[in-house]
Amino acid sequence: MNYTLLPGTDVKISEICLGTMTFGQQNSEADGHAQIDSALDKGINFIDTAEMYAVPAREKTYGSTEEIIGTWLKKSGRRDEIVLATKIAGPNRGLPYIREDLQFNDATIRLSVEKSLLRLQTDYIDLYQLHWPERNVNFFGQRGFKVKGEAWEDNIQQVLETIQALINEGKIKHFGLSNETPWGLMRFVEESRKHNLPKIVTTQNPYSLLNRTFEVGLAEVCHRENVGLLAYSPLAFGVLSGKFLTGEPQPNARITLFSNFSRYNSENTRKASALYNEIAKDNGLTLTEMALAFIRQQQFVASTIIGATTLEQLEENINTTKVILSDEILLEIEKVQSLIPDPAP
- Cα–Cα distance for residue pair 172/113, rounded to 1 Å: 8
Strands (E), the chain: 3-5, 12-14, 16-19, 46-48, 83-88, 125-130, 172-178, 200-206, 228-232, 301-306
Collapsing DSSP to helix, strand or coil, 129 comes out as strand
- Cα–Cα distance for residue pair 130/180, rounded to 1 Å: 9
**53, 62, 232, 276: the active-site residue:** 53
- Cα–Cα distance for residue pair 229/226, rounded to 1 Å: 10
Query: What single DSSP character describes residue 240?
Result: G
- Cα–Cα distance for residue pair 119/19, rounded to 1 Å: 17
Residue pair 312/25 in contact by the 8 Å Cβ criterion:
no
Within 10 angstroms of residue 125's Cβ, the number of other Cβ atoms is: 23
- Cα–Cα distance for residue pair 136/124, rounded to 1 Å: 31
- Cα–Cα distance for residue pair 167/160, rounded to 1 Å: 10
Within 10 angstroms of residue 331's Cβ, the number of other Cβ atoms is: 10
Based on the residue annotation, tell me whether 124 is a catalytic residue of this protein: no
Query: What single DSSP character describes residue 23?
Result: B
- Cα–Cα distance for residue pair 334/47, rounded to 1 Å: 31
Helix (H) or strand (E) holding 278: helix 267-282
Distance of CA 237 to the CA centre of its chain: 12
Catalytic center residues: 53
